[in-house]
Structure 1
Amino acid sequence: MKPASVVALEALLPRLSSETFDADVFRQTGVFVVRNAIAPAVAQAWVSEWKAFHAAIMEKGRDVNRANPVSLNEQLPERLAHMYREPVFANTLKAFMGEHIALYNHRFVIKDALSSNKVFLHQDSCYHAGHSNKCSVFVPVSLVNKDNGGLTFHVGSHRLGVLGDAGEIDPASFDVQWPTVTPELAPGDFVIMDSRLWHESGPNVSGVDRIMADMIIQPADDPTGQELLCGEWQTDVFYSPKTITRHFVSSRILKIVKYEKELAQLKAELSASR
């Protein structure tokens, strides 16, 4: 028998998508799709800018991120690099973050011909620094659906908090099975996701590029804030999550880097001896 909390979540699924953001539903589910929230002229300008930019970098040869192929390595043009400044995002997030909001990170996550594979089930919080009350705002700059690698969200899974390690999650290892949704999106929509929520994406099998901005946003009292989006800073101490390993003498990340270098050297020595 399903836990009562899961039955309640399933009842909320039809309310996960609306032109009006529902903060109460979001708190319970960990995800919400805001429809037709971005002015058509703004959304279309982003789409046009992306198409021109992508065509230019593909002509030169795109630098695929080997560690995370869907995360774009190239420097975005000005209009796309500052999408998060569009007021609709901070204004929407005020409903649960309050009046003081800041940016943690902004990037593009894409599935084109060079990065079409699936992304395993994971949560983002274990990769973040600072406080845990962050969220991602996914903004489509193309049509997004299951066939081109749209995101699948495990609704309510954020209730388990941070799982204590990073990597691919095995949902079958838990007693509770969360309902899932894979929303279809179009430019003008955006998705708000609690950073603790489990999510994944299948392969792009349609050949239609799936393009999304991923803005990680947080309250302005977090010392890892990169830019103030509205209100005032609520902290006067800061540090950058982009150079986090310099704060450690020893850590999991530093050990992984060390072991990878040693393995590469060993492989090179074995290859040279043959």
Structure 2
Amino acid sequence: MEKIKIHVLHTGRVCVDPALPFKSKSKNPIAYTGIGRNPKNRLWLPVSVYLIEHPNGLILYDTGWHREVSPEGKYSRIAQIKHMYLRHYLLNQAKLPKGKAIDEQLEEMGIKPSDLDYVILSHMHTDHASGLKLVKVAKKIMVSKTEMEDTVRHPVRYARRMWDGVQIDTFSFKNTGLGPVGKSYDLFGDGSIELINIPGHTNGIAAMKINNNGKYVLLFADGGYAEKSWKEMIAPGTALDRDGAMASIAWIKEMSRKEACLESLANHDPDVIPHEIIL
């Protein structure tokens, strides 16, 4: 197959308690909320999205923050609460510099949102789905059926206003034997883009494995928050299913260590900077 180019982009940052990305050993069962914790210890982490130039079209994986969280590039508490609701704002505050919203970065690259053939969401949490309305004119927007069902089963974990009025299609994971629970979805039917169920953080979260010329890149979203997640086997503090999350991290670790793996990337790894990957 022709070469595939992956653009690793940062759409601002997110501020969280350390127990949210890296489950705390604290006796505080809600340490990830930051309640009763020192705010000086909070972390600012990047919010990554990925633009994939594939022979079959342009694919955007996740959407990052919407400009609404930072009007005119300025931090705005009121704007963020309005955009994501108070409960989410208390968990994760946003910063989005001017020019870093996904539509702004696409424009800088000479790409219109309508040029996108696919927008694929790893899952529907705020910092992944916030920017959906910026690219709602993409040809096709997709998320797993399981994840969309989770937005109904566990509504407190989501901010549904972020996709009100947006046409989103769902795909169903198949029993393929791939991934920690053996379920995946082959986007093009040729094995080049595999969406692999890595449950734990949410039930329907989908990692993206991009395959070409005997090599692959693994984008594991919030299956873990950084490389240290799989190196040290640390589950996200907000995991819906901790056992499932640990099984998914074990699979991520296995896949990340294979010789064929060019890069393995989490969405919020502070050690990852914007760059391009040629596969």
- TM-score with structure 1 length normalisation? 0.26
Name which structure has the greater RCO, CA cutoff 8 Å, separation 6+: 1
Richer in strand (by share): 2
Larger Rg: 1
